């Protein structure tokens, strides 16, 4: 059996002593390292392929989801076109109003099927989580922080605020004689 090479001070090199097995064959530890390295490279490649496949699948889901939404919107466009054609054939605005009303009902039904519902605002206490105040209006009744007018409707998407309602909020009216404009200089 060959002797391991010695370093200065009589220490032997670990690489030289581990390179060959007990009978001069390949070292089992080196074989295990090679096997594990190969396995690691394969797992990394599989994971990379998995990430690419998931990204492709996600893009396909988004594309398909948009397709379904667009198919739901097409009848709304069809009815708008019909309403416009009916309005052009007659001088009456009644036909146009009826057609637009039909389109609104169709669109609201489509939104409801998708889980979109309007936020009830007027008469409700102001909630900054669902309302966006655009103006404050003095209220002689003294009701403070109550929604008195909806400027733009807000919507829920299931339990999440899709768009907050733009509202005018009441504030208690200042008592007569207490404001700076009521004082005499």
Residue 9 parent element (H or E): none
Is the pTM higher than 0.85? The answer reads: no
Model pLDDT for residues 53-101, shown as the tens digit of each residue:
999 999 988 888 778 888 888 888 888 888 888 888 887 788 788 888 8
| Numbered ranges of CATH 3.90.20.20 in the chain | 25-114
Top-confidence residue, 65 or 28: 28
Of the candidates 98, 69, 68, 70, the one whose C-alpha atom is nearest the C-alpha of residue 82 is 98
User: CATH for 117-173, among 3.40.1360.10, 3.40.190.10, 2.30.22.10, 2.60.40.10?
Assistant: 2.30.22.10
């Amino acid at each position: 059996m060959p002797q391991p090479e010695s370093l200065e001070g009589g220490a032997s090199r670990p690489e030289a002593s581990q390179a060959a097995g007990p009978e001069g064959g390949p070292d089992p530890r080196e074989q295990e390292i090679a096997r594990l390295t190969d396995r690691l490279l394969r797992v990394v490649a599989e994971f990379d392929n998995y990430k690419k496949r998931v990204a492709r699948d996600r893009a396909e889901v988004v594309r398909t989801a948009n397709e379904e939404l667009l198919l739901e919107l097409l009848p709304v466009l069809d009815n708008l076109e019909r309403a416009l054609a009916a309005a052009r054939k007659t001088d009456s605005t009644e036909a146009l109003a009826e057609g637009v009303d039909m389109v609104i009902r169709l669109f609201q039904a489509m939104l409801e099927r998708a889980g979109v519902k309007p936020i009830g605002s007027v008469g409700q206490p102001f909630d900054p989580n669902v309302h966006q105040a655009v103006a404050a209006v003095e209220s002689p009744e003294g009701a403070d922080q109550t929604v008195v007018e909806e400027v733009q409707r807000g919507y829920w998407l299931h339990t999440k605020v899709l768009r907050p309602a733009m509202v005018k909020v009441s504030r208690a009216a200042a008592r007569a004689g207490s404001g700076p404009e009521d004082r005499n200089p």
